[in-house]
Structure 1
Amino acid sequence: MSQAKERPILFSAPMVRAILEGRKTVTRRAVKIQPRTKGDIGSYGLGQPFIRHPDPTKRNPECPYGRPGDRLWVRETWLEDPEDDGTWAYTQYMGCKGSPLSEIPKRFQKPEHCIFRASWNGTDLLWRPSIHMPRWASRILLEITDVRVERLQDISVQQVREEGCEVREFWLFGADAEKRQHIAASMFGGLWKDINGQESWDANPWVWVVKFRRIQP
Protein backbone atom coordinates (compact mmCIF):
# COMPACT_ATOMS: atom_id res chain seq x y z
CA MET A 1 0.00 0.00 0.00
CA SER A 2 1.39 3.41 -1.00
CA GLN A 3 2.00 5.94 1.75
CA ALA A 4 -0.56 8.74 2.11
CA LYS A 5 0.62 12.06 0.74
CA GLU A 6 -0.08 15.63 1.80
CA ARG A 7 -0.70 18.49 -0.64
CA PRO A 8 -1.84 22.13 -0.41
CA ILE A 9 -5.21 23.31 -1.75
CA LEU A 10 -6.57 26.85 -2.08
CA PHE A 11 -9.97 27.92 -0.74
CA SER A 12 -11.65 31.33 -0.69
CA ALA A 13 -12.77 32.87 2.60
CA PRO A 14 -16.48 31.92 2.15
CA MET A 15 -15.51 28.31 1.44
CA VAL A 16 -13.17 28.23 4.44
CA ARG A 17 -16.06 29.35 6.63
CA ALA A 18 -18.24 26.62 5.12
CA ILE A 19 -15.57 24.01 5.92
CA LEU A 20 -15.20 25.26 9.50
CA GLU A 21 -18.99 25.16 9.96
CA GLY A 22 -19.17 21.62 8.57
CA ARG A 23 -21.25 22.67 5.55
CA LYS A 24 -18.63 21.94 2.89
CA THR A 25 -17.36 18.39 2.44
CA VAL A 26 -16.60 18.30 -1.29
CA THR A 27 -14.87 20.46 -3.89
CA ARG A 28 -14.85 20.46 -7.68
CA ARG A 29 -11.80 21.38 -9.74
CA ALA A 30 -11.56 21.38 -13.54
CA VAL A 31 -9.65 18.49 -15.11
CA LYS A 32 -6.57 19.91 -16.83
CA ILE A 33 -6.57 17.41 -19.74
CA GLN A 34 -10.24 17.17 -20.67
CA PRO A 35 -11.50 13.69 -21.67
CA ARG A 36 -12.68 13.54 -25.28
CA THR A 37 -15.39 11.06 -24.28
CA LYS A 38 -16.52 9.30 -21.12
CA GLY A 39 -14.49 6.33 -22.34
CA ASP A 40 -11.32 8.31 -21.64
CA ILE A 41 -12.04 8.13 -17.91
CA GLY A 42 -10.50 5.08 -16.30
CA SER A 43 -10.09 3.85 -12.74
CA TYR A 44 -7.54 1.90 -10.77
CA GLY A 45 -10.25 1.11 -8.23
CA LEU A 46 -10.63 2.32 -4.64
CA GLY A 47 -11.54 5.82 -5.77
CA GLN A 48 -8.49 6.37 -8.00
CA PRO A 49 -9.78 7.63 -11.39
CA PHE A 50 -7.49 8.75 -14.18
CA ILE A 51 -7.81 10.39 -17.60
CA ARG A 52 -6.44 8.61 -20.65
CA HIS A 53 -3.78 10.89 -22.11
CA PRO A 54 -4.32 11.62 -25.83
CA ASP A 55 -0.63 10.79 -26.33
CA PRO A 56 -0.25 7.05 -25.53
CA THR A 57 3.42 7.61 -24.72
CA LYS A 58 2.49 9.93 -21.83
CA ARG A 59 1.39 8.96 -18.34
CA ASN A 60 -2.35 8.96 -17.70
CA PRO A 61 -2.97 11.84 -15.28
CA GLU A 62 -4.66 11.12 -11.95
CA CYS A 63 -6.31 13.66 -9.69
CA PRO A 64 -3.61 16.22 -8.75
CA TYR A 65 -5.18 16.59 -5.31
CA GLY A 66 -4.59 12.97 -4.38
CA ARG A 67 -6.33 9.70 -3.65
CA PRO A 68 -8.55 8.54 -0.80
CA GLY A 69 -6.49 8.58 2.37
CA ASP A 70 -4.27 11.44 1.20
CA ARG A 71 -4.44 14.76 3.01
CA LEU A 72 -4.94 18.36 1.94
CA TRP A 73 -3.76 21.32 3.97
CA VAL A 74 -5.79 24.43 3.28
CA ARG A 75 -4.23 27.63 2.03
CA GLU A 76 -6.36 30.68 2.79
CA THR A 77 -5.95 34.46 2.94
CA TRP A 78 -4.04 35.20 6.12
CA LEU A 79 -1.59 37.37 8.04
CA GLU A 80 1.12 36.47 10.49
CA ASP A 81 0.64 37.86 14.01
CA PRO A 82 3.48 36.65 16.25
CA GLU A 83 3.77 37.93 19.79
CA ASP A 84 6.13 40.74 20.74
CA ASP A 85 7.97 39.01 23.58
CA GLY A 86 10.93 41.39 23.64
CA THR A 87 13.44 38.89 22.30
CA TRP A 88 13.39 39.89 18.63
CA ALA A 89 12.80 42.88 16.36
CA TYR A 90 9.03 42.58 16.24
CA THR A 91 8.60 46.30 15.49
CA GLN A 92 9.38 45.68 11.81
CA TYR A 93 6.14 43.69 11.60
CA MET A 94 3.99 46.52 12.89
CA GLY A 95 1.91 48.33 10.29
CA CYS A 96 2.74 46.95 6.84
CA LYS A 97 3.42 43.38 7.95
CA GLY A 98 5.82 43.08 5.03
CA SER A 99 8.89 41.48 6.57
CA PRO A 100 10.19 38.08 5.43
CA LEU A 101 8.39 35.21 7.12
CA SER A 102 11.73 33.54 7.70
CA GLU A 103 12.49 36.19 10.32
CA ILE A 104 9.66 35.00 12.56
CA PRO A 105 11.11 32.85 15.37
CA LYS A 106 10.29 29.16 15.03
CA ARG A 107 8.25 29.17 18.24
CA PHE A 108 5.80 31.60 16.60
CA GLN A 109 5.54 29.71 13.31
CA LYS A 110 2.18 28.20 14.18
CA PRO A 111 -1.42 28.89 13.12
CA GLU A 112 -2.13 30.12 16.65
CA HIS A 113 0.07 33.11 15.79
CA CYS A 114 -1.81 33.97 12.59
CA ILE A 115 -4.94 35.90 11.66
CA PHE A 116 -7.27 34.51 8.99
CA ARG A 117 -9.48 36.64 6.79
CA ALA A 118 -12.31 34.09 6.90
CA SER A 119 -12.57 34.50 10.68
CA TRP A 120 -11.62 38.18 11.01
CA ASN A 121 -14.28 40.65 12.15
CA GLY A 122 -12.11 43.75 12.57
CA THR A 123 -11.12 46.47 10.15
CA ASP A 124 -9.60 45.30 6.87
CA LEU A 125 -5.90 44.50 6.92
CA LEU A 126 -3.14 44.17 4.37
CA TRP A 127 -3.57 40.44 3.93
CA ARG A 128 -1.13 37.93 2.51
CA PRO A 129 -2.58 35.98 -0.45
CA SER A 130 -3.49 32.36 0.18
CA ILE A 131 -0.93 31.17 -2.39
CA HIS A 132 1.82 32.53 -0.11
CA MET A 133 0.71 30.61 2.98
CA PRO A 134 3.44 28.27 4.28
CA ARG A 135 2.54 24.87 5.70
CA TRP A 136 3.14 25.97 9.29
CA ALA A 137 0.44 28.67 9.07
CA SER A 138 -2.33 26.34 7.90
CA ARG A 139 -5.05 25.64 10.47
CA ILE A 140 -7.22 23.24 8.43
CA LEU A 141 -6.30 19.69 7.45
CA LEU A 142 -8.57 17.54 5.29
CA GLU A 143 -8.52 13.85 4.48
CA ILE A 144 -9.72 12.76 1.04
CA THR A 145 -12.46 10.12 1.26
CA ASP A 146 -13.39 9.77 -2.42
CA VAL A 147 -12.45 11.05 -5.87
CA ARG A 148 -14.45 10.77 -9.08
CA VAL A 149 -14.84 12.53 -12.44
CA GLU A 150 -18.09 13.99 -13.74
CA ARG A 151 -19.48 16.85 -15.81
CA LEU A 152 -19.65 20.13 -13.92
CA GLN A 153 -23.35 20.75 -14.51
CA ASP A 154 -24.36 17.21 -13.50
CA ILE A 155 -24.07 18.20 -9.84
CA SER A 156 -26.99 16.91 -7.75
CA VAL A 157 -29.08 18.85 -5.24
CA GLN A 158 -27.37 17.09 -2.33
CA GLN A 159 -23.94 17.72 -3.80
CA VAL A 160 -24.71 21.43 -4.13
CA ARG A 161 -25.41 21.45 -0.39
CA GLU A 162 -22.18 19.51 0.26
CA GLU A 163 -20.33 22.18 -1.73
CA GLY A 164 -21.37 24.63 0.98
CA CYS A 165 -24.20 26.32 -0.95
CA GLU A 166 -27.54 26.98 0.72
CA VAL A 167 -30.43 25.22 -1.00
CA ARG A 168 -33.73 25.63 0.84
CA GLU A 169 -36.54 23.20 0.12
CA PHE A 170 -39.12 25.93 -0.49
CA TRP A 171 -36.96 27.14 -3.41
CA LEU A 172 -37.48 23.73 -5.01
CA PHE A 173 -41.12 23.28 -3.99
CA GLY A 174 -43.32 21.93 -6.73
CA ALA A 175 -40.46 21.15 -9.11
CA ASP A 176 -39.88 17.68 -10.55
CA ALA A 177 -36.51 15.93 -10.11
CA GLU A 178 -35.01 17.36 -13.29
CA LYS A 179 -36.11 20.91 -12.47
CA ARG A 180 -34.86 20.58 -8.88
CA GLN A 181 -31.44 19.54 -10.15
CA HIS A 182 -31.37 22.43 -12.64
CA ILE A 183 -32.29 24.99 -9.96
CA ALA A 184 -29.65 23.72 -7.53
CA ALA A 185 -27.00 23.49 -10.26
CA SER A 186 -27.70 27.12 -11.19
CA MET A 187 -27.06 28.14 -7.56
CA PHE A 188 -23.73 26.37 -7.58
CA GLY A 189 -23.06 27.85 -11.01
CA GLY A 190 -23.07 31.34 -9.53
CA LEU A 191 -20.26 30.38 -7.19
CA TRP A 192 -18.32 28.62 -9.95
CA LYS A 193 -18.61 31.60 -12.30
CA ASP A 194 -17.36 34.01 -9.62
CA ILE A 195 -14.17 31.97 -9.39
CA ASN A 196 -13.69 30.55 -12.89
CA GLY A 197 -15.72 32.80 -15.20
CA GLN A 198 -18.94 32.51 -17.17
CA GLU A 199 -17.24 30.72 -20.07
CA SER A 200 -16.00 27.95 -17.80
CA TRP A 201 -19.52 27.20 -16.58
CA ASP A 202 -20.95 27.31 -20.10
CA ALA A 203 -18.25 24.88 -21.30
CA ASN A 204 -19.52 22.32 -18.76
CA PRO A 205 -16.05 20.75 -18.31
CA TRP A 206 -15.23 17.44 -16.71
CA VAL A 207 -14.20 18.05 -13.12
CA TRP A 208 -12.46 16.19 -10.33
CA VAL A 209 -14.98 15.74 -7.51
CA VAL A 210 -12.97 15.48 -4.30
CA LYS A 211 -14.83 14.50 -1.14
CA PHE A 212 -13.13 15.08 2.19
CA ARG A 213 -13.52 15.20 5.94
CA ARG A 214 -11.85 17.60 8.31
CA ILE A 215 -9.32 16.11 10.73
CA GLN A 216 -7.21 17.57 13.48
CA PRO A 217 -3.77 18.79 12.30
Structure 2
Amino acid sequence: MKTHIKERPIPFSADMVRALLQGWKTQTSRTRGLERFNGWPDRKIPLGEDAWELCHFTKEEPGIWRAIFQDPRGECPPGLDPVVKCPYGKPGERLCVRDPFFNVYDDWFRLLLEITDIEVRKLQSITEEEAMAEGIESIFYDEETSSTGWKNYLDPESMCIRARDSFFTLWDRLHGAGEAETDPWVWMIKFKVLKVKGTIK
Protein backbone atom coordinates (compact mmCIF):
# COMPACT_ATOMS: atom_id res chain seq x y z
CA MET A 1 0.00 0.00 0.00
CA LYS A 2 1.40 3.39 -1.03
CA THR A 3 2.00 5.95 1.71
CA HIS A 4 0.54 9.34 0.83
CA ILE A 5 3.09 12.16 1.17
CA LYS A 6 1.58 15.59 1.70
CA GLU A 7 2.37 18.26 -0.87
CA ARG A 8 1.73 21.96 -0.20
CA PRO A 9 1.99 24.89 -2.63
CA ILE A 10 4.64 27.52 -1.92
CA PRO A 11 5.21 30.74 -3.90
CA PHE A 12 8.63 31.83 -5.16
CA SER A 13 9.65 34.87 -7.17
CA ALA A 14 10.93 34.34 -10.70
CA ASP A 15 14.52 35.02 -9.51
CA MET A 16 14.23 32.30 -6.88
CA VAL A 17 12.70 29.80 -9.32
CA ARG A 18 15.75 30.31 -11.52
CA ALA A 19 17.99 29.79 -8.47
CA LEU A 20 16.16 26.52 -7.75
CA LEU A 21 16.63 25.33 -11.33
CA GLN A 22 20.33 26.30 -11.23
CA GLY A 23 20.83 24.39 -7.97
CA TRP A 24 21.78 27.49 -5.94
CA LYS A 25 18.74 27.49 -3.67
CA THR A 26 18.28 24.81 -1.00
CA GLN A 27 16.74 26.94 1.76
CA THR A 28 13.93 29.46 2.21
CA SER A 29 12.99 31.69 5.15
CA ARG A 30 9.32 32.54 5.78
CA THR A 31 7.27 34.38 8.43
CA ARG A 32 3.82 32.96 7.61
CA GLY A 33 2.17 31.58 10.76
CA LEU A 34 4.52 33.49 13.08
CA GLU A 35 2.70 36.84 12.84
CA ARG A 36 1.48 36.79 16.44
CA PHE A 37 5.08 36.53 17.66
CA ASN A 38 6.39 39.23 15.31
CA GLY A 39 3.79 41.94 15.81
CA TRP A 40 5.18 43.79 18.82
CA PRO A 41 7.96 46.39 19.19
CA ASP A 42 11.31 44.78 19.98
CA ARG A 43 9.57 41.38 19.66
CA LYS A 44 8.40 41.77 23.30
CA ILE A 45 4.78 41.02 24.11
CA PRO A 46 3.22 43.75 26.28
CA LEU A 47 1.12 42.97 29.31
CA GLY A 48 0.13 46.16 31.13
CA GLU A 49 3.35 47.94 32.02
CA ASP A 50 5.43 44.78 31.69
CA ALA A 51 6.73 42.87 28.70
CA TRP A 52 7.36 39.21 28.07
CA GLU A 53 10.50 38.42 26.11
CA LEU A 54 10.34 35.58 23.59
CA CYS A 55 13.67 33.72 23.82
CA HIS A 56 13.40 30.77 21.47
CA PHE A 57 11.20 27.99 20.13
CA THR A 58 11.42 24.32 21.04
CA LYS A 59 10.20 21.48 18.83
CA GLU A 60 7.29 19.61 20.43
CA GLU A 61 7.03 17.09 17.59
CA PRO A 62 7.74 17.21 13.84
CA GLY A 63 6.09 20.36 12.47
CA ILE A 64 4.91 21.60 15.90
CA TRP A 65 6.82 24.23 17.91
CA ARG A 66 6.39 26.00 21.26
CA ALA A 67 7.45 29.57 22.05
CA ILE A 68 9.54 29.87 25.22
CA PHE A 69 9.40 33.15 27.15
CA GLN A 70 11.83 34.56 29.68
CA ASP A 71 9.61 35.61 32.57
CA PRO A 72 9.38 34.31 36.16
CA ARG A 73 5.62 34.96 36.35
CA GLY A 74 4.61 32.17 34.02
CA GLU A 75 5.33 30.25 30.87
CA CYS A 76 3.79 32.76 28.45
CA PRO A 77 1.55 35.83 28.36
CA PRO A 78 -2.10 35.11 29.27
CA GLY A 79 -4.29 34.66 26.21
CA LEU A 80 -1.41 33.90 23.86
CA ASP A 81 -1.19 30.39 22.43
CA PRO A 82 2.54 29.53 22.48
CA VAL A 83 2.16 26.47 20.23
CA VAL A 84 2.48 26.96 16.48
CA LYS A 85 2.26 24.53 13.58
CA CYS A 86 4.51 25.10 10.59
CA PRO A 87 2.21 25.88 7.63
CA TYR A 88 4.77 24.41 5.25
CA GLY A 89 4.74 20.93 6.78
CA LYS A 90 7.53 18.88 8.29
CA PRO A 91 10.65 17.00 7.15
CA GLY A 92 9.78 14.35 4.58
CA GLU A 93 6.81 16.28 3.22
CA ARG A 94 6.87 18.15 -0.06
CA LEU A 95 6.40 21.62 -1.50
CA CYS A 96 5.04 22.39 -4.98
CA VAL A 97 6.62 25.57 -6.29
CA ARG A 98 4.48 28.40 -7.64
CA ASP A 99 5.57 31.77 -9.00
CA PRO A 100 3.66 34.71 -10.52
CA PHE A 101 4.43 33.66 -14.09
CA PHE A 102 3.96 29.89 -14.04
CA ASN A 103 1.14 27.62 -12.93
CA VAL A 104 2.52 24.63 -11.04
CA TYR A 105 -0.29 22.51 -12.41
CA ASP A 106 0.58 23.16 -16.07
CA ASP A 107 1.72 19.95 -17.76
CA TRP A 108 4.99 21.40 -19.00
CA PHE A 109 6.25 22.81 -15.69
CA ARG A 110 6.74 20.92 -12.40
CA LEU A 111 9.08 21.72 -9.52
CA LEU A 112 8.80 19.58 -6.42
CA LEU A 113 10.83 20.06 -3.21
CA GLU A 114 11.26 17.70 -0.25
CA ILE A 115 11.70 19.32 3.17
CA THR A 116 14.83 18.04 4.93
CA ASP A 117 14.89 20.30 8.02
CA ILE A 118 12.97 23.15 9.68
CA GLU A 119 14.08 25.57 12.40
CA VAL A 120 12.43 28.63 13.96
CA ARG A 121 15.08 31.34 14.35
CA LYS A 122 15.63 35.07 14.18
CA LEU A 123 16.32 36.27 10.65
CA GLN A 124 19.58 37.97 11.62
CA SER A 125 20.98 34.67 12.94
CA ILE A 126 21.44 33.40 9.40
CA THR A 127 25.02 32.32 8.61
CA GLU A 128 27.04 33.06 5.47
CA GLU A 129 26.51 29.49 4.25
CA GLU A 130 22.76 29.64 4.91
CA ALA A 131 22.52 32.99 3.12
CA MET A 132 24.17 31.43 0.06
CA ALA A 133 21.70 28.53 0.27
CA GLU A 134 18.86 31.07 0.03
CA GLY A 135 19.74 31.38 -3.66
CA ILE A 136 21.42 34.78 -3.79
CA GLU A 137 23.39 35.52 -6.92
CA SER A 138 27.17 35.77 -7.11
CA ILE A 139 28.14 38.52 -9.58
CA PHE A 140 31.91 38.64 -9.05
CA TYR A 141 34.61 36.09 -8.22
CA ASP A 142 38.39 36.51 -8.07
CA GLU A 143 40.19 33.17 -8.47
CA GLU A 144 43.45 34.47 -7.01
CA THR A 145 41.98 35.79 -3.78
CA SER A 146 38.70 33.80 -3.70
CA SER A 147 36.93 37.13 -3.14
CA THR A 148 33.24 37.03 -4.03
CA GLY A 149 30.80 39.84 -4.74
CA TRP A 150 27.09 39.24 -4.19
CA LYS A 151 24.11 40.87 -5.85
CA ASN A 152 22.57 43.89 -4.15
CA TYR A 153 18.85 43.41 -4.82
CA LEU A 154 18.08 47.02 -3.89
CA ASP A 155 20.84 48.68 -5.93
CA PRO A 156 21.92 46.94 -9.16
CA GLU A 157 24.81 49.40 -9.55
CA SER A 158 26.56 48.09 -6.42
CA MET A 159 27.33 44.72 -4.84
CA CYS A 160 27.61 43.20 -1.38
CA ILE A 161 30.83 41.79 0.06
CA ARG A 162 29.05 39.36 2.39
CA ALA A 163 26.39 36.83 1.41
CA ARG A 164 24.33 37.78 4.49
CA ASP A 165 24.15 41.40 3.38
CA SER A 166 23.02 40.33 -0.08
CA PHE A 167 20.30 38.17 1.45
CA PHE A 168 19.10 41.07 3.63
CA THR A 169 18.75 43.28 0.52
CA LEU A 170 16.68 40.49 -1.06
CA TRP A 171 14.53 40.29 2.08
CA ASP A 172 13.94 44.05 2.01
CA ARG A 173 13.06 43.95 -1.68
CA LEU A 174 10.44 41.27 -1.01
CA HIS A 175 9.09 42.54 2.33
CA GLY A 176 9.76 46.29 2.38
CA ALA A 177 12.62 48.65 3.16
CA GLY A 178 14.19 48.09 6.58
CA GLU A 179 12.31 44.85 7.29
CA ALA A 180 15.50 42.79 7.70
CA GLU A 181 16.55 45.12 10.52
CA THR A 182 13.40 44.25 12.50
CA ASP A 183 14.88 40.74 12.85
CA PRO A 184 11.63 38.72 12.77
CA TRP A 185 11.19 35.11 13.78
CA VAL A 186 11.19 32.97 10.64
CA TRP A 187 10.85 29.39 9.56
CA MET A 188 14.22 28.40 8.07
CA ILE A 189 13.28 25.56 5.76
CA LYS A 190 15.93 23.40 4.12
CA PHE A 191 14.97 21.18 1.19
CA LYS A 192 16.16 19.21 -1.80
CA VAL A 193 14.76 19.40 -5.32
CA LEU A 194 13.04 16.14 -6.28
CA LYS A 195 11.71 16.85 -9.75
CA VAL A 196 12.19 19.45 -12.44
CA LYS A 197 10.25 19.41 -15.70
CA GLY A 198 10.59 22.27 -18.15
CA THR A 199 13.08 25.14 -18.14
CA ILE A 200 12.96 28.88 -17.69
CA LYS A 201 14.93 31.08 -20.02
TM-score of the alignment, normalized to the shorter chain, above 0.5: yes
Structure 1 residues 50 and 72, CA gap change in structure 2 (3 angstroms) = farther
Are 1:48 and 1:68, in contact at CA under 8 Å, matched by a contact in 2? no
Aligned to 2:129: 158
Q: State which of 58, 61, 68 in structure 1 corresponds to 2:84.
A: 61
Structure 1 residues 34 and 58, CA gap change in structure 2 (3 angstroms) = closer
Superposition deviation, residue 3 in structure 1: 6.0
AA partner of residue 43 (structure 1):
K
Superposition deviation, residue 209 in structure 1: 0.2
TM-score by length of 2: 0.65
Q: State which of 107, 112, 117 in structure 2 corresponds to 1:111.
A: 107
Are 1:48 and 1:148, in contact at CA under 8 Å, matched by a contact in 2? no
Are 2:66 and 2:82, in contact at CA under 8 Å, matched by a contact in 1? no
Secondary structure in structure 1 of the residue aligned to 2:29:
strand
CA RMSD of aligned residues (A): 3.0
Deviations 1:135-175 (A, max 9, x none): xxx61111111000111111111111111113554148xxx
Are 1:33 and 1:51, in contact at CA under 8 Å, matched by a contact in 2? no
Secondary structure in structure 2 of the residue aligned to 1:61:
strand
Structure 1 residues 164 and 79, CA gap change in structure 2 (3 angstroms) = closer
1:185 and 1:79 map into 2 onto residues whose CA distance is: 29
Q: Percent identity?
A: 36
Aligned to 1:104: none
2:165 and 2:125 map into 1 onto residues whose CA distance is: 11
1:57 and 1:193 map into 2 onto residues whose CA distance is: 29
Query: As a proportion of its length, which structure holds more strand?
Result: 2
Q: State which of 48, 53, 57 in structure 2 corresponds to 1:41.
A: 57
TM-score by length of 1: 0.61
